[in-house]
Amino acid sequence: MNSATPREAEAALLTCCGSLHWARRVADHRPYPDLDALLAASDEAAYDLSPGDLAEALAREQPAAPHGTYTAAHTALRAAHAAYESRFGHTFVVCLDDVARAEALDHLLSALRSRLGNDPDDERAIAAEELRRLARGRLTRLTRIQAATGASETPEAPARDECPQARPDSPYVPV
């Protein structure tokens, strides 16, 4: 990340959080001495997202569903995602990094259903926090990929629609 050009860094960072303002801010504060410093800068930039920056980031997120789910589960997820998007005007985001793979579907459906009852302003705050958590995980994965490949330039980052979280063994695919 530190040795990438500003354009390469911004492009890689946009795969972690879809706000151009956030990506530029994190890229502009390079070099980072370590991952913790990068994550701290990411958090700070995420906390400072304007409503427009948040809307931009949410617009770039994709709904997701666990691999290998049954048709009924996909149907329930699609219906819940549609209801959420209709109510709040953006894709549902949730970070499942700390959720066991076997519990992910239940957690995802439960979170979707419970958050549908939120006030729009409260839900925007929750979505912003989930985006911050997602960006941290995605940044961690991106830096690990770079370290593992010994890349001196930013490699192609993981696809944004791959999952709503940042686990390399993610059980999620687009719905």
Quick check: is 106 in a domain? yes
> Using N-to-C axis directions, what is the helix angle for 35-47 and 120-149, rounded to 10°?
160
pLDDT at 156 over 50: no
Domain count, the chain: 1
Q: Is residue 168 part of a domain?
A: no
Is the per-residue pLDDT at 152 higher than 60? no
Average pLDDT of span 39-51: 97
pLDDT one-digit tens code per residue, 106-131: 888 899 999 999 999 999 999 999 99
Distances (CA, A) of 50 to 45, 141, 164: 10, 26, 21
- Reply yes or no on whether the pLDDT at 154 is more than 90: no
Q: Which of 7, 23, 95 is nearest to 57 (CA)?
A: 23
55 in any annotated domain: yes
- Domain annotation covers residue 169: no
pLDDT mean over 81-94: 94
Q: Confirm whether 13 is domain-assigned.
A: yes
**CATH code of the domain in which 114 resides:** 1.10.3330.10
With a cut of 80, say whether residue 33 has pLDDT above it: yes
Point out the least confidently predicted range of 73-77, 85-89, 94-98: 73-77
Q: Residue 61: which domain range?
A: 6-161
- Does residue 11 form part of some domain? yes
Within a domain: residue 65? yes
Residue 65 vs residue 163, higher pLDDT = 65
The answer to whether residues 1 and 145 touch, using CB atoms and an 8 Å cutoff, is: no
Distances (CA, A) of 23 to 34, 85, 172: 18, 25, 24
76 and 173 in contact (C-beta within 8 Å)?
Answer: no
Q: Check residue 71 and give its pLDDT.
A: 64
State the pLDDT at residue 69. Answer: 55
What is the rounded distance in angstroms from the CA atom of residue 80 to the CA atom of residue 120?
16
**Are 35 and 137 contacting, i.e. CB atoms less than 8 angstroms apart?**
no
Does some domain include residue 1?
A: no
pTM: 0.82
